[in-house]
Copies of this chain bind each other. A is one copy, B any other.
Amino acid sequence: MRLGLLYSGGKDSTLAALLCAEFYDVTLVTGSFGITDDWQHARDAAESVGFEHERLDLEREVAEEAVDRLVADGFPRNAIQHVHEHALEQLAASGFDAIADGTRRDDRVPTVSRAQAQSLEDRHDVDYIAPLSGFGRGAVDRLVEAELDVTIGPSEEIRRADYEAELRALLAEQRGTDAIEEVFPAHDQTYVTGVR
């Protein structure tokens, strides 16, 4: 069975890929609005862990909506959730037998409720799988330590391809670079460079 997994090049989606590979023919899929080329970082990470990779078209209009939301809210949670739901819809419509993402049990965002999962499955005749949703933060940290080679650093320096990179770019284009710091709190990100 062919499974498409939303992939950022980060530790969570990489662990999710390793779990799914037990049962599925996994393709790592990275959404891109076409605003920047950051999706290519995820392609490179996918290559370093030995998986097939594809780029997934996201609609520019959704990025605009997300940036409006970022500015209105002053924090990224709802904007990221909006983009993630759009990415899952696009992925569900792209012909895989199953789709997946790297959401974890203890994540605040993005989240996919059981009702949202069943709705995706029913409307697109696809299985939606959240392989890490039964893993807490501590378990994920220990698995990353045991299984992956990663680079860790501030989110403005780490080359990865979650939605944040393109939303930051669009926000800077519309509101100037100072707006980024107002909306995105400083935090560390990880980028996967290989499997141990």
Contacts and interface: CB of A to CB of B under 8 A. Distances in A.
Contact of A133 (B21, B133, B138): B133
A147 B23 contact: yes
A122 B103 CA distance: 22
Name the prevailing secondary structure of the A interface residues: mixed
Assembly of this chain: how many copies? 2
B128 A136 contact: yes
A127 interface: yes
Nearest to A133: B134
Contacts of A100: 134
Given A114-B105, A129-B134, A98 B139 contact: yes
Nearest to A141: B127
By Cβ-Cβ distance, the 10 closest A-B pairs, closest first, are A130-B134, A133-B134, A127-B139, A22-B22, A133-B133, A131-B134, A23-B143, A129-B134, A127-B138, A129-B135
Interface of A: 1, 18-19, 21-23, 98, 100, 103, 105-106, 114, 117-118, 121, 127-136, 138-139, 142-143, 146-147
